[in-house]
Amino acid sequence: MPRPRMFDEADVVDRARRTFAETGFAGTSLDDLLEATGLARQSLYNAFGGKKELFMRAFLSDTSSAVDAVSTVMRSAEDPIVRIRTKLVSTAVEHGSAAASPSLFLRAAVELSGSDPEVAATVATAFDDIRADYTACIVDAQHAGEIDAGADAEALGTYFCAVIEGMSTLGRAGVARATLLQMGLTSLTAVPITPLGHERLGTEDGAWT
Amino acid sequence: MPRPRMFDEADVVDRARRTFAETGFAGTSLDDLLEATGLARQSLYNAFGGKKELFMRAFLSDTSSAVDAVSTVMRSAEDPIVRIRTKLVSTAVEHGSAAASPSLFLRAAVELSGSDPEVAATVATAFDDIRADYTACIVDAQHAGEIDAGADAEALGTYFCAVIEGMSTLGRAGVARATLLQMGLTSLTAVPITPLGHERLGTEDGAWT
DNA sequence: ACGGTTCTGGAACAAGCAGTCTACAACTCG
DNA sequence: CGAGTTGTAGACTGCTTGTTCCAGAACCGT
């Protein structure tokens, strides 16, 4: 019986995500959101409840896609060591050079982790999940004989988590894509890769710009 | 002839820095600043000009001390390779476990680099300076025979910049000090250290908590 | 002690904010 | 087709924001 909505809820959340990612929670006004989503004031309140609630929807959605993105790559059928290099390269490409839509996950972590307990908890478990995925991938690589079995897999997993967050941060701060890529590939040399691992990775690493 | 000020300008800037670092530019109201600094409304406007101007004072001051902090360590008399490890350890200690006062430099980079050109430019040159300091230190280490002469010093410098920013970001997001330390020390293994370098670094790396 | 200059504290201001209310339009089911 | 329910649009409401104004207090050199 109700009049059907003139907007797609998921689409609205995604537009809100982009807006919040660009100007932050405190820096985004309700009018900004209305303009970005095309919704009428009351429609936003009917559908979501308010600014904070819409933010949390967008934030949780972005967080889980960030976690999923890692998970997808780290559990793919590729050689374990290649999965990690793939993630490093794609992070450099996605976060390089201003243009690309910045991550709300990272922004919310920096802006609100200190003040909002729910955001802080979500960020913390997301990082744990991401770390676990990296770690699992490194264990796979050890079983495949690509990485020294004696290496501390968890230390390496945590390490990649930091490298990739650092790349995102620097990318947002304006560091060029090629520089990010160089950083990512350098980080791989921290891993005690066996001769087999090097063979699987291939020799030439250039050709991304 | 004028009535002397009842506040120390540098002290006010420092208190403002802490406040802005905790709640961000948009998230900090003038009343918050007045409470944090103890100034009267008009005094703040007389002495600094306004909210934005005070923010820039605090931001520029924090940025140059962040750059100086790197520079001081990287040009110290210590063995080059030890300087880098020192910086990694101190970053882990300072940014570990919520409590410690967060960096306004990092926060402003994430919050405002996308919208404020002056902040973006400052952040960009600060990162360049920091990268140059790391690179110079690695070159020193190569001359001292601690790092393979064939390594790409600039790539390694850029890399440490990313690792350390990543550590700061994760620290703010709630990652424990011990974990940050583990990340920092793992990042060192990306460097092609010569036998002499390993000797200079020492063998046991534990005992920080 | 006094005049000039600056600092101080609070009141006042306009603009912008998140959120609410009301009238109307659109659709579905009986 | 029409009654009922829900979405839409925009005016409206307190409240907070950054900033300015004004009157008085504090200090210094003479």
pLDDT digits (tens, 9 = 90+) for B115-153: 899 999 999 999 999 999 999 999 999 999 999 999 999
Radius of gyration of chain A, Cα coordinates, nearest whole angstrom: 20
Contacts of B166 in chain A (CB under 8 A): 161-167, 169
* pLDDT score of B190: 79
Give the residues of chain A that fall short of pLDDT 50: 205-209
* pLDDT score of A98: 62
Is A169–B109 a contact, with Cβ atoms under 8 angstroms apart? yes
- Where do the domains of chain B lie, and which CATH numbers do they carry? 59-201 (1.10.357.10)
Per-residue pLDDT band at B9 (split at 50, 70, 90): confident
* pLDDT score of B100: 67
Q: Three-state SS across A61-115? A: HHHHHHHHHHHHHHCCCCCHHHHHHHHHHHHHHHHCCCCCCCCHHHHHHHHHCCC
Distance CA B23, CA A113 (A): 10
Distance CA A119, CA A123 (A): 6
Per-residue pLDDT band at B209 (split at 50, 70, 90): very low
A6 touches strand D (CB under 7 A): yes
Per-residue pLDDT band at B174 (split at 50, 70, 90): confident
pLDDT at B207 over 70: no
Q: Which position has the token pair 């949780």?
A: A60
- In a 3-state reduction of DSSP, which class is residue B81? helix
Distance CA B26, CA B107 (A): 12
Per-residue pLDDT band at B3 (split at 50, 70, 90): low
Contacts of B123 in chain A (CB under 8 A): 173-174
Smallest CA-to-CA distance from B184 within B103, B89, B80, B100 is with: B89
Is B163–A166 a contact, with Cβ atoms under 8 angstroms apart? yes
* pLDDT score of B7: 81
